[in-house]
Amino acid sequence: MKKFKKIIALTLVLIMSLSLVACGNDTNEVATPPDGSSDTSTDPTPDTIAEEGKVLNIWGWNDEFKGLYERYFEGAGKLPDGIEVKFTIVPNDDNAYQNALDEALLNQKSASDDEKIDLFLVEADYALKYVDSDYTLDIINDVGLTEEDISGQYKYTQEIVTDSKGAIKGTSWQATPGLFAYRRSIAKDVLGTDDPVEVQEALSTWDKFYDVAGNAHGKGYKMLSGYDDSYRTFSNNTSSPWIDNDGSIIIDNNIINWIEQTKEFTDKGYNNKSSLWDDQWAADQGSEGKVFGFFYSTWGINFTLLGNAVDTPLPDGVTATGDPEAFEAATTGNGVFGEYGVVEGPQNYYWGGSWLCAATESDNLDLVQEIMRTMTCDADTLTTITKDTQDFTNNIDAMEALSKDDNFASAFLGGQNHISLFAESAKGIDMSNISPYDQGLNEDMQTSFRDYFNGTVDYDTALDNFYRAAIEKYPDLKRPK
């Protein structure tokens, strides 16, 4: 009897824990060990080992850069023997990445050489926080890139990481203009066409966008998935930063426009009441989705939207350029692959982007310099990345060339050359209104006003909750007078 009890108890515990394991499909990991990068050869090249630390620590919030690095730097055989590359990945939500990074940077001086952060990634939303500190190095004067190296990059990607003294403190492999990705079948049903030129004509202003939303709703579709979908088209086109000079929060008119539009869309049933990154939002992008389109920038289309659109994830390392047959086999009939098209949409905007920063006290500066040069300045590497991943990379000439290349097309976007749209849109990006607080304030804005859109609270309460959350997160900020 006792034995029987024990067996039953054990089985129940197992079943419960199994169901829990099955529920979590989070791809983020903390402290990801490098896959096969610990290539410690018995005969290391002496001159690199003499000055360089043996461990290169890279910090990031997802494995996007890790994948690129492994393929285009390590995969290209550029990693010197005897150096181990260690990625530390902390998810971005609720400032978790920044808090972990801050702690590590504050301990940077006392950390042992192998523990010191050498390279870390930052997003546009909080780049200034690190750029305007002593924890990042000037990529020209300290790291050793030349003006010529970075001359091919989009200017705005440099402006965003330029500190108050004019030093450039970071460099990026991508530029992130935003577009509107639409479902071709739904566009055909609603507008009678799925041709990008005609769709763009129908969506070129917010008024027209609004009319199309009404028509789509009439046919049983939703124009947008959720509340935050159009957020960046407003928030990254504001006329002032989030914060004024004495630390008061400013709610820009464009943010108010977003609130008004979203409230109206919600009340009229034009959206599906989802929030960015939630399950509903992801499902809306897949085969079951009934949503007209999504505002997405470069990385979003080829990294996130593609991932959500397919029923079975594409196998690792299979690209249209690398192995066309395997790529076609993996994508044909897989979810709604090839079902999306892109247009500029009603407003020019940008969203996100990742920058590489060299950390002060790094003991691998030569290698950091080499990684930065290869991954963010080398036109050939960047062209290859774009061809392989369809991502929009940070080299004006290369992107212009691809945008005129008739052979270049995205299979995922039904054969459209999206690079030409991005290249056009990238010219209009203005990043002059960023502040170090953007990430937290954008997040709080979206979370606090969700209750207002749902009808749980009125406008003033939502605004009050926003200020409360913002000041909890940043105690040095104040409510506007």
Partner 1 sequence: MKTSKKSKSISYAKWGYIFLIPFFTIYIIFSLIPLVSTFYNSFFENYMSGLKQIGPNFVGLENYKTILFDTELPKYAYNTLLIWILGFIPQIIVSMVLALWFTSVRLKLKFTGFFKTVIYMPNLIMAAAFSMLFWTLFSDIGPVNNLLVAMGYEPISFFQNINATRGLVGLMNFLMWFGNTTILLMAGVMGIDSSILEAAQIDGASSWKTFWNVTIPSIKPILVYVFLTSLIGGVQMFDVPQILTNGSGGPDRTSMTMIMYLNKHLFSKNYGLAGALSVILFLITAIISFIIYKNLTEKGPKEKIDSNKKISVKGGGK
Q: Which residues bind partner 1 (CB under 8 A)?
A: 1, 5, 8-9, 12-13, 16-17, 19-20, 23-24, 93-95, 99, 102, 105-106, 129-130, 133, 135, 273-274, 278-280, 283, 436, 447, 450-451, 454, 456-457, 461, 465, 468-469, 472-476
Q: Residue 85 is inside which H or E element, if any?
A: strand 84-89
Nearer CB in complex with partner 1: 154/270: 270
Q: Work out how close the CB of 454 gets to partner 1 at its nearest, in angstroms, rounded to a whole number.
A: 5
| Sequence-separated (6 or more) residues with CB below 8 Å from residue 432 | 159
Compute the distance between CA of residue 35 and CA of residue 230 in angstroms, rounded to an integer: 38
180 in helix, strand or coil? strand
Nearer CB in complex with partner 1: 164/407: 164
Nearer CB in complex with partner 1: 173/449: 449
- Compute the Cα dihedral for 213, 215, 216, 220 and give only its sign: positive
Q: Work out how close the CB of 100 gets to partner 1 at its nearest, in angstroms, rounded to a whole number.
A: 12
Nearer CB in complex with partner 1: 211/278: 278
Nearer CB in complex with partner 1: 66/450: 450
Q: Work out how close the CB of 257 gets to partner 1 at its nearest, in angstroms, rounded to a whole number.
A: 23
Nearer CB in complex with partner 1: 277/315: 277
Nearest to 163 by CA among 143, 142, 134, 141: 134
Q: Work out how close the CB of 476 gets to partner 1 at its nearest, in angstroms, rounded to a whole number.
A: 4
Burial string for 229-253 (b: 16+ CB within 10 Å, else e) reads bbbbbbbbbbeebbbeeeeebebbe
Cα distances (angstroms) measured from residue 463 to each of 42, 366, 435, 444, 451? 62, 49, 20, 10, 10
Cα distances (angstroms) measured from residue 422 to each of 63, 155, 343, 346? 23, 15, 9, 14
Nearer CB in complex with partner 1: 40/461: 461
Cα distances (angstroms) measured from residue 98 to each of 67, 122, 200, 257, 305? 21, 9, 38, 29, 25
Spatial contact of 58 and 120, defined as CB atoms under 8 Å apart: yes
Q: Work out how close the CB of 115 gets to partner 1 at its nearest, in angstroms, rounded to a whole number.
A: 18
Copy the structure tokens of residue 373: 């040069």
Q: Residue 264 is inside which H or E element, if any?
A: helix 253-268
Spatial contact of 359 and 371, defined as CB atoms under 8 Å apart: no
Nearer CB in complex with partner 1: 253/454: 454
Residue type, 19: S
Q: Work out how close the CB of 113 gets to partner 1 at its nearest, in angstroms, rounded to a whole number.
A: 22
Q: Work out how close the CB of 469 gets to partner 1 at its nearest, in angstroms, rounded to a whole number.
A: 8
Nearer CB in complex with partner 1: 23/50: 23
Nearer CB in complex with partner 1: 72/130: 130
Q: Work out how close the CB of 301 gets to partner 1 at its nearest, in angstroms, rounded to a whole number.
A: 23
Spatial contact of 126 and 61, defined as CB atoms under 8 Å apart: no
Compute the distance between CA of residue 213 and CA of residue 221 in angstroms, rounded to an integer: 9
Beta partners for residue 71, in sequence order? none
Q: Work out how close the CB of 28 gets to partner 1 at its nearest, in angstroms, rounded to a whole number.
A: 14
294 in helix, strand or coil? strand
Spatial contact of 229 and 276, defined as CB atoms under 8 Å apart: yes
Q: Work out how close the CB of 44 gets to partner 1 at its nearest, in angstroms, rounded to a whole number.
A: 35
Q: Work out how close the CB of 151 gets to partner 1 at its nearest, in angstroms, rounded to a whole number.
A: 30
Copy the structure tokens of residue 350: 């940008």
Compute the distance between CA of residue 231 and CA of residue 40 in angstroms, rounded to an integer: 47
Nearer CB in complex with partner 1: 29/397: 29
Q: Work out how close the CB of 323 gets to partner 1 at its nearest, in angstroms, rounded to a whole number.
A: 34
Compute the distance between CA of residue 36 and CA of residue 49 in angstroms, rounded to an integer: 20
Beta partners for residue 354, in sequence order? 123
70 in helix, strand or coil? helix
Q: Work out how close the CB of 291 gets to partner 1 at its nearest, in angstroms, rounded to a whole number.
A: 13
32 in helix, strand or coil? coil
**In this structure, what DSSP letter does residue 192 have?**
S
Nearer CB in complex with partner 1: 136/348: 136
Compute the distance between CA of residue 361 and CA of residue 297 in angstroms, rounded to an integer: 34
Nearer CB in complex with partner 1: 278/400: 278
